Structure 1
Amino acid sequence: MFSMRTGMIVGALLNSGVWIRLLALISPSHGYAALVIGQIFPAIAGPFILNLTAQFPARWFAPQQRDIATALCSMANPLGGAIGSLLPSLVVTNGSSSHQFFILLTIEAALTTLTTLLLIVIIRSEPPSPPSPSEEHHQSIDIKEDLIRLLTNRHYLILLFGFALGLAMVNSMTTVLSQLIQPSGYSSKDAGIFGAALIVTGILSSTVTDLNHRMVTSI
């Protein structure tokens, strides 16, 4: 069974697919293929990182701190999406050259590589002293048995369908937002701002509903 540290390192290494995207600028004739392949690897990396948002607080934080830690870890992904929607529209303009794009992608790739190296050197699976005695011994996991239980659990399937539908809707909206608003006279910069606002609004609303324990009634 892979450790939490191994999962984080694998996810970080897969994020290094940004280096492949650089080939889209180095060799324009194969640009589209390099762009797609370079994006596939970070997409595969997503589950390795996102699925640790509950496990990491459980092992590194005391019980009274885990809710806040889990919430912060969960918000990191949509917050990154908001920043990713906003920054390109502010940095990249209509007059930007391929050289400027190359510099931006190189900086992104360098930061990704630095993060990977920090994970390898600093992060470990277990804290120096577990926050509670119960965390010293982790329950063994049978992936096949647990998967069967999940797929036969009606409540889980409802939750899975609802979450998948919501995530697909947000991703689709942010992807085609520029095409949707351009006929009304808005620019790509406006699309980036609108996309960031959409994600940040979702983060704020989920935070408010969680603080007021209104999650069920809001759904």
Structure 2
Amino acid sequence: MSGDGAGVRFWRKQKLGSRDFTLNEPRETGEVEGDGEGERDGSIRQGASTEYRTYKRRWFGLIQLTLMNIIVSWDWMTYAPVASHAAEYYNVRESTINWISTAFFLAFVAVFPISITILHRGPKLAFMTSAVLILIGNWIRYAGSTKASGGSIACAMAGEIVIGFAQPFILAAPTRYSDLWFTDRGRVAATALASLANPFGAAIGQLITPLMVQKAGDVSSMVLYISIISSVCALPAFLIPAKPPSPVGPASETPKLSLRESIGVLSSSLEVWLILIPFAVYVGFFNSISSLLNQMLKPYGISDDQAGIGGAVLIVVGLVAAAVSSPIIDRTKSFLLTLKILVPLVGISYLIFVWMPETKDVAGPYVVLAILGASSFSLVPVALEFLIELSHPLSPEVTSTIAWAGGQLFGAIFIIISDALAAGKDASPPKNMKNALIFQAVLALAVVPLPLCLGLFGRESKTALRRIRSDEQNRSNTTITTNP
């Protein structure tokens, strides 16, 4: 594609230095690291050793992937934090605003098979596809929101759906990108940075959107500002290099199974499903609680601004916890133990949160949301990378896209169910969501035993880290250097 050619010409002109910021990867040009067996461009050999190279330009792609995950999530959270003002502006009920979030999740599910196919060809094409859809979707939304006096809910919904189409191409890309550009010493941290940028975008929406919208007429300018920011962040996607000039390690050049073969292997792997199911359920509940948090807290006297801060606490504490835990897991490779610790914490947090709104104070909800965020966010990169380890040599985008698609589907279902379980105006307090919180807790606890069964009943060999083992088998015959 022409965008790919432009990216190649751009990177050929760059003169980057010999030092590199790393995520526990080789830092100096010429530094020797064991990382597998193979050839650089199929031809570089030094005696019996094989030379692989990591490239500094991978950081530009990772930054762009991170930015796009931030903005696509902020786009999703455009209306939910100010649902009452948005409903007034578009002259609809608040439940209709909830349907905008639901449509966003369902749009992901509708196109995720296409995103798997495109990601299978490489992350660059997925970047560009997502960028185009983000641009189109944002400006469709603004086309129906140009007047301060009122807007078109049809345009808002249509634009949100188009942005929803963009999300799978970028949300499922981190594992594919890290597999292509990073060694086993940096994949978890790289995947964490790009994947957790998505909820960070939601945190920005939770915090900033209520500040931008003080009355219904402010919705128009808010949509415009978000559209401009989204456009600026999406455009550099066309300059990102498509792939490294040579493989960075043996795992990145291992022939991957075809998509048809991958689906067959995936459907028969019990261990993969023991991770996929709780991952999808917990992502679904995160999407649901992010969309409905103000409606969960507001009946008990907690304001939109305070609820927005609660959403930010959920996400920011989670990001900090993931930033601390991911490099540690990169070094220790303790995927299974981490999974078995974090999943019960997530389930228990949802149980305790059932009673938090009734305290009518922000302290309780904030503490539980902080614990929930720390455990949930630390879990995301671990689960995604462990899925790839268990399913190697499946291409990484297969498991990650299916995992995220399940989360988006459950998110849509949970929002619909929670909306239906909301109390009426004659309840005490009116419109409380106690029943929805109970439903959330019961299901969150129900999936806890699934990952706890991993490695039991004589199936310990099924939890082997296949991709890492592939890298380590020939570690003594390999050198890795860092290039521009």
Q: TM-score, normalised by structure 1?
A: 0.84
Displacement after TM superposition at 1:93 (Å): 1.3
Give, in whole Å, the separation in 2 of the partners of 1:104 and 1:194.
Answer: 21
Displacement after TM superposition at 1:112 (Å): 2.3
More helix per residue: 1
Give, in whole Å, the separation in 1 of the partners of 2:254 and 2:171.
Answer: 20
Match of 2:319 in 1: 203
Give, in whole Å, the separation in 2 of the partners of 1:67 and 1:167.
Answer: 18
Displacement after TM superposition at 1:128 (Å): 4.2
Superposed CA RMSD in Å reads 2.5
Q: Is the 8 A contact 2:178 2:190 kept in 1?
A: yes
Q: Which moved more, 1:36-45 or 1:109-118?
A: 109-118
Q: 1:66 aligns with which of 187, 197, 204?
A: 187
Post-superposition CA distance 1:121-144 (Å, at most 9, x none): x20211345433664x46244112
Seen in structure 2, the aligned counterparts of structure 1 residues 159 and 215 have a Cα distance that, compared at 3 Å, is closer
Give, in whole Å, the separation in 2 of the partners of 1:138 and 1:106.
Answer: 45
Matched, 1:160 2:160: no
Q: How many equivalent pairs are there? A: 214
Give, in whole Å, the separation in 2 of the partners of 1:141 and 1:13.
Answer: 29
Match of 1:19 in 2: 139
Give, in whole Å, the separation in 2 of the partners of 1:12 and 1:141.
Answer: 28
Match of 2:340 in 1: 216
Post-superposition CA distance 1:31-69 (Å, at most 9, x none): 121111111122122211122111212222343222322
Match of 2:127 in 1: 8
Give, in whole Å, the separation in 2 of the partners of 1:86 and 1:148.
Answer: 43
Seen in structure 2, the aligned counterparts of structure 1 residues 138 and 112 have a Cα distance that, compared at 3 Å, is farther
Matched, 1:48 2:169: yes
Match of 1:131 in 2: 248
Matched, 1:113 2:231: yes
Seen in structure 2, the aligned counterparts of structure 1 residues 89 and 55 have a Cα distance that, compared at 3 Å, is same
Q: Which moved more, 1:27-36 or 1:101-110?
A: 27-36
Q: Which runs of 4+ in 1 moved over 6 A?
A: 27-30
Q: Is the 8 A contact 1:209 1:218 kept in 2?
A: no
Displacement after TM superposition at 1:8 (Å): 0.8
Q: Is the 8 A contact 1:12 1:112 kept in 2?
A: no
Question: SS in structure 2 opposite 1:58?
Answer: helix
Displacement after TM superposition at 1:160 (Å): 1.7
Displacement after TM superposition at 1:151 (Å): 2.2
Give, in whole Å, the separation in 1 of the partners of 2:150 and 2:192.
Answer: 44
Q: Is the 8 A contact 2:213 2:222 kept in 1?
A: no
Seen in structure 2, the aligned counterparts of structure 1 residues 208 and 113 have a Cα distance that, compared at 3 Å, is closer
Displacement after TM superposition at 1:10 (Å): 0.5
Seen in structure 2, the aligned counterparts of structure 1 residues 60 and 175 have a Cα distance that, compared at 3 Å, is same
Match of 1:192 in 2: 308
Match of 2:152 in 1: 31
* Alignment-mate amino acid for residue 259 of structure 2: I
Give, in whole Å, the separation in 1 of the partners of 2:318 and 2:250.
Answer: 36
Post-superposition CA distance 1:13-48 (Å, at most 9, x none): 112201111133237887121111111122122211
Displacement after TM superposition at 1:147 (Å): 1.5
Question: SS in structure 1 opposite 2:186?
Answer: helix
Q: Is the 8 A contact 1:59 1:130 kept in 2?
A: yes
Q: Which runs of 5+ in 1 are unaligned?
A: none
Question: SS in structure 1 opposite 2:170?
Answer: helix
Q: Is the 8 A contact 1:60 1:127 kept in 2?
A: yes
Give, in whole Å, the separation in 1 of the partners of 2:295 and 2:150.
Answer: 25
Q: 1:147 aligns with which of 249, 263, 276?
A: 263
Identity of aligned residues (%): 29
Seen in structure 2, the aligned counterparts of structure 1 residues 90 and 58 have a Cα distance that, compared at 3 Å, is same
Give, in whole Å, the separation in 2 of the partners of 1:62 and 1:156.
Answer: 23
Q: Which moved more, 1:56-65 or 1:203-212?
A: 203-212
Q: Is the 8 A contact 2:175 2:191 kept in 1?
A: yes
Match of 1:82 in 2: 203
Give, in whole Å, the separation in 2 of the partners of 1:90 and 1:157.
Answer: 41
Give, in whole Å, the separation in 1 of the partners of 2:190 and 2:287.
Answer: 25
